[in-house]
């Protein structure tokens, strides 16, 4: 499941970043650059990814807890 098309970030990779950084979007972006190129995945209605970045972070946080 693609979360950021520009960086080819998969949900499974994001899940590991959320385990490490929680919901600290700046730390996540610093480590993987997701949402920093075209920024489309930062929009809830993005249609070029399977799950937009912020929604994916929320989903990961729920899975962890």
pLDDT digits (tens, 9 = 90+) for 18-27: 999 999 999 9
Owner of token pair 């799950």: 51
Q: State which residues form the domain around 2.
A: 1-38
pLDDT digits (tens, 9 = 90+) for 30-42: 999 999 999 999 9
**53 close to 4: Cβ distance less than 8 angstroms:** yes
What's the pTM? 0.94
Q: Is residue 53 part of a domain?
A: no
Domain count along the chain: 1
What's the rounded Cα separation, in Å, for the pair 31 and 50? 21
Q: Is residue 19 part of a domain?
A: yes
Give me the pLDDT at residue 52, please.
97
Q: Is residue 25 part of a domain?
A: yes
């Amino acid at each position: 499941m693609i979360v950021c098309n520009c960086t080819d970030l998969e949900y499974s990779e994001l899940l590991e970043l959320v385990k490490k950084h929680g919901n600290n979007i700046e730390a996540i972006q610093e480590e993987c650059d997701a949402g920093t190129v075209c920024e489309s995945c930062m929009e809830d209605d993005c249609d070029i990814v399977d799950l937009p970045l912020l929604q994916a972070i929320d989903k990961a946080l729920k899975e962890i807890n």
